[in-house]
A = this chain, B = another copy of it.
Amino acid sequence: MQDGTFLSPAYLDVTTLDGAPGATGRRGDVFARNCPTRQLLDRVGDKWSILLLGMLGEGEMRFSALKRRVDGISQKMLAQTLRTLERDGLITRHVEPTVPVSVTYAITPLGRELLGALQWLIDWAETRMGAVAQAQVAYDLRMAD
Protein backbone atom coordinates (compact mmCIF):
# COMPACT_ATOMS: atom_id res chain seq x y z
CA MET A 1 0.00 0.00 0.00
CA GLN A 2 2.69 2.43 0.99
CA ASP A 3 4.22 1.96 -2.42
CA GLY A 4 0.92 2.62 -4.06
CA THR A 5 0.13 -0.89 -5.23
CA PHE A 6 -3.57 -0.31 -5.35
CA LEU A 7 -3.05 2.56 -7.73
CA SER A 8 -1.36 0.40 -10.26
CA PRO A 9 -2.73 -0.07 -13.77
CA ALA A 10 -3.09 -3.78 -13.06
CA TYR A 11 -6.41 -2.92 -11.51
CA LEU A 12 -7.82 -2.21 -14.88
CA ASP A 13 -7.70 -5.92 -15.61
CA VAL A 14 -9.73 -6.67 -12.56
CA THR A 15 -12.29 -4.11 -13.52
CA THR A 16 -12.73 -4.64 -17.20
CA LEU A 17 -11.81 -8.32 -17.34
CA ASP A 18 -10.40 -7.78 -20.77
CA GLY A 19 -7.22 -6.26 -19.51
CA ALA A 20 -6.60 -3.88 -22.38
CA PRO A 21 -3.00 -2.96 -21.64
CA GLY A 22 -3.07 -0.02 -24.00
CA ALA A 23 -5.44 1.83 -21.75
CA THR A 24 -3.22 1.65 -18.71
CA GLY A 25 -1.00 4.55 -19.55
CA ARG A 26 -2.65 7.28 -17.52
CA ARG A 27 -2.12 6.57 -13.89
CA GLY A 28 -4.41 9.22 -12.47
CA ASP A 29 -7.44 7.92 -14.27
CA VAL A 30 -6.68 4.41 -13.21
CA PHE A 31 -6.57 5.49 -9.65
CA ALA A 32 -9.78 7.39 -9.65
CA ARG A 33 -12.16 5.55 -11.87
CA ASN A 34 -11.19 1.93 -12.33
CA CYS A 35 -9.76 1.06 -8.95
CA PRO A 36 -11.40 -2.14 -7.69
CA THR A 37 -11.72 -0.40 -4.37
CA ARG A 38 -14.97 0.92 -5.77
CA GLN A 39 -16.32 -2.51 -6.61
CA LEU A 40 -15.04 -3.88 -3.37
CA LEU A 41 -16.76 -1.18 -1.37
CA ASP A 42 -20.02 -1.89 -3.11
CA ARG A 43 -19.80 -5.27 -1.47
CA VAL A 44 -18.36 -4.72 1.97
CA GLY A 45 -19.08 -1.03 2.34
CA ASP A 46 -22.69 -1.24 3.39
CA LYS A 47 -23.59 -1.94 6.93
CA TRP A 48 -25.48 -5.19 6.37
CA SER A 49 -23.15 -7.17 4.08
CA ILE A 50 -20.38 -7.64 6.60
CA LEU A 51 -22.83 -8.39 9.36
CA LEU A 52 -24.59 -11.06 7.31
CA LEU A 53 -21.35 -12.55 6.06
CA GLY A 54 -20.15 -12.69 9.65
CA MET A 55 -23.32 -14.40 10.78
CA LEU A 56 -23.14 -17.00 8.02
CA GLY A 57 -19.48 -17.50 8.86
CA GLU A 58 -20.73 -19.09 12.06
CA GLY A 59 -22.81 -21.59 10.13
CA GLU A 60 -25.67 -21.85 7.68
CA MET A 61 -28.84 -20.13 8.65
CA ARG A 62 -32.39 -19.57 7.49
CA PHE A 63 -33.97 -16.31 6.43
CA SER A 64 -36.01 -15.90 9.58
CA ALA A 65 -33.07 -16.81 11.79
CA LEU A 66 -30.94 -14.15 10.11
CA LYS A 67 -33.71 -11.63 10.51
CA ARG A 68 -33.93 -12.45 14.20
CA ARG A 69 -30.21 -12.39 14.90
CA VAL A 70 -29.22 -9.41 12.82
CA ASP A 71 -31.58 -7.27 14.75
CA GLY A 72 -32.55 -3.98 13.19
CA ILE A 73 -32.46 -5.19 9.61
CA SER A 74 -35.62 -4.86 7.57
CA GLN A 75 -36.77 -7.80 5.50
CA LYS A 76 -36.27 -5.65 2.46
CA MET A 77 -32.60 -5.05 3.20
CA LEU A 78 -32.17 -8.64 4.33
CA ALA A 79 -33.54 -10.05 1.08
CA GLN A 80 -31.73 -7.46 -1.00
CA THR A 81 -28.35 -7.96 0.68
CA LEU A 82 -28.64 -11.74 0.59
CA ARG A 83 -29.38 -11.61 -3.12
CA THR A 84 -26.35 -9.44 -3.76
CA LEU A 85 -24.10 -11.69 -1.69
CA GLU A 86 -25.43 -14.72 -3.55
CA ARG A 87 -24.92 -13.06 -6.90
CA ASP A 88 -21.35 -12.23 -5.93
CA GLY A 89 -20.71 -15.88 -5.10
CA LEU A 90 -20.08 -15.13 -1.44
CA ILE A 91 -23.00 -17.15 -0.11
CA THR A 92 -25.28 -19.89 -1.39
CA ARG A 93 -29.05 -20.17 -1.22
CA HIS A 94 -30.71 -23.52 -0.79
CA VAL A 95 -34.47 -23.92 -1.10
CA GLU A 96 -36.09 -26.81 0.69
CA PRO A 97 -39.46 -27.44 -1.00
CA THR A 98 -41.43 -27.96 2.17
CA VAL A 99 -44.74 -26.28 3.01
CA PRO A 100 -44.16 -23.57 3.81
CA VAL A 101 -40.91 -23.27 1.93
CA SER A 102 -37.65 -23.18 3.86
CA VAL A 103 -34.60 -21.36 2.57
CA THR A 104 -31.12 -21.82 3.98
CA TYR A 105 -28.12 -19.60 3.36
CA ALA A 106 -24.50 -20.62 3.75
CA ILE A 107 -21.13 -19.00 3.20
CA THR A 108 -18.98 -20.13 0.27
CA PRO A 109 -15.20 -20.64 0.29
CA LEU A 110 -14.88 -17.32 -1.54
CA GLY A 111 -17.00 -15.63 1.09
CA ARG A 112 -14.93 -17.15 3.84
CA GLU A 113 -11.80 -15.81 2.17
CA LEU A 114 -13.27 -12.34 2.21
CA LEU A 115 -14.22 -12.81 5.82
CA GLY A 116 -10.60 -13.69 6.54
CA ALA A 117 -9.34 -10.54 4.86
CA LEU A 118 -11.95 -8.60 6.76
CA GLN A 119 -10.60 -9.96 10.00
CA TRP A 120 -7.62 -7.62 9.86
CA LEU A 121 -9.94 -4.69 9.61
CA ILE A 122 -12.04 -6.01 12.48
CA ASP A 123 -8.91 -6.47 14.56
CA TRP A 124 -7.86 -2.92 13.82
CA ALA A 125 -11.27 -1.68 14.86
CA GLU A 126 -11.15 -3.70 18.05
CA THR A 127 -7.79 -2.40 19.11
CA ARG A 128 -7.82 1.12 17.65
CA MET A 129 -11.35 2.43 17.69
CA GLY A 130 -10.60 3.70 21.16
CA ALA A 131 -7.74 5.78 19.78
CA VAL A 132 -10.04 7.09 17.07
CA ALA A 133 -12.63 8.09 19.65
CA GLN A 134 -9.92 9.88 21.64
CA ALA A 135 -8.73 11.71 18.56
CA GLN A 136 -12.29 12.86 17.94
CA VAL A 137 -12.62 14.23 21.45
CA ALA A 138 -9.30 16.04 21.12
CA TYR A 139 -10.32 17.44 17.76
CA ASP A 140 -13.66 18.66 19.02
CA LEU A 141 -11.97 20.35 21.96
CA ARG A 142 -9.44 22.04 19.68
CA MET A 143 -12.21 23.32 17.45
CA ALA A 144 -14.48 24.46 20.27
CA ASP A 145 -12.33 27.44 21.17
Q: Which of B4, B6, B55, B110 contacts A135 (CB 8 A)?
A: B110
Whole-angstrom distance between the alpha carbons of A140 and B49 in the complex?
20
**Interface members, chain A 38-88 (any B CB < 8 Å):** 38-41, 43-47, 50-51, 54-55, 57-58, 68-73, 86-88
Number of copies of this chain that the complex holds: 2
- Whether the pair B87, A110 counts as a contact (CB closer than 8 A) is no
Q: Is A24 an interface residue (CB 8 A)?
A: no
Q: Which of B10, B114, B121, B135 contacts A117 (CB 8 A)?
A: B121
- Whether the pair B37, A41 counts as a contact (CB closer than 8 A) is no
Q: Closest 6 interchain pairs by CB?
A: A89-B135, A32-B71, A117-B124, A45-B45, A40-B125, A117-B120
